[in-house]
Amino acid sequence: MHGERELALLVGRNYDDPLFLQLKEAESSVLEPFLSPSEFPNHGQRVVTGQRLMQATSDIFLGWMHVEAGLDGRSRDFYVRQLKDWKGSAEIERQVPEAMAAYGRLCGWTLARAHARSGDRIAIASYLGGGDGFDRALLEFSKAYAEQNERDYNALADAVEAGRATAKTGL
């Protein structure tokens, strides 16, 4: 596991009014070795700023903090958010192909929207131009990625069949 994770339980008017906050350690960006250090003095602030850029509506409890010396004596940066255990997801294992295609379109739209919020849309559109070169490159990458997934799955299935690995579906 990377980074520390903590939960804080706060109680409102009474014990029937709990609020769980998740504190997650924010370490330096994986890009820092290749770029300059972050402009933010706190890695939690960097994470929170990125989330606020990409999310249409952020958690009202979203924030950051610095701990000068934890139990191990190390200083750490954290970001804080409300812990919600009622998040849901589609049961893709049970979807028919048409529903899976619609789900894929929704996921792609959501991801594109999040990234569009964090970038300069005019600069991105200028970079991509009016042709279909980017579309074709993305399609080729997607096909190659899908083919690699298929090869990886087949290699795993072969290893399980040969007894070199074990697998459990969880169903």
Sheet with 5-11: strands ordered across:
5-11, 18-25, 76-82, 63-67
Regarding whether 76 and 20 lie in a shared domain, the answer is yes
Q: Which residues of 122-144 are buried (b: 16+ CB within 10 A; e: fewer)?
A: eeeeeeeeeeeeeeeeeeeeeee
Q: Is residue 153 included in any domain, yes or no?
A: yes
**Contact by Cβ (8 Å): 55, 81:** no
Confidence band, pLDDT 50/70/90 cuts, at residue 47: very high
The answer to whether residues 9 and 78 belong to one domain is yes
Does any domain span residue 72? yes
End-of-domain residue from the set 58, 82, 106: 82
pLDDT of residue 87: 61
Answer whether residue 41 is part of any domain. Answer: yes
Confidence of residue 90 (pLDDT cuts 50, 70, 90): confident
150-158 average pLDDT score = 95
Q: What pLDDT is stored for residue 1 in this prediction? A: 41
Looking at residue 36, the DSSP 8-state letter turns out to be P
Residue range of the domain that includes 16? 5-82
Domain limit, last residue, from 25, 58, 82: 82
| Mean of per-residue pLDDT scores for the chain | 86
Q: Which of 99, 82, 81, 79 is nearest to 90 (CA)?
A: 99
User: What is the pTM assigned to this prediction?
Assistant: 0.56
Q: Which residue carries 């994770």 as its tokens?
A: 5
* Residue 63 located in a structural domain: yes
Least confident of 7-21, 45-59, 107-121, 145-159: 107-121
> Is-contact 28 35, C-beta < 8 A?
no
- 112 inside domain: no
Query: Among residues 32, 58, 82, which one ends one of the domains?
Result: 82
Mean of the pLDDT values across residues 67-72?
87
Give the percent of the chain with pLDDT over 90.
39
**Considering Cα of 145, then 148, then 152, then 154, what sign does the dihedral take?**
positive
Strand, helix or coil at 25? strand
Could you tell me how far CA 69 lies from the centroid of its own chain?
Answer: 28
Residue with tokens 């250090």: 37
**Does residue 35 register a pLDDT over 90?**
no
Dihedral over Cα of 116, 118, 124, 128: its sign: negative
Number of separate domains in the chain? 2
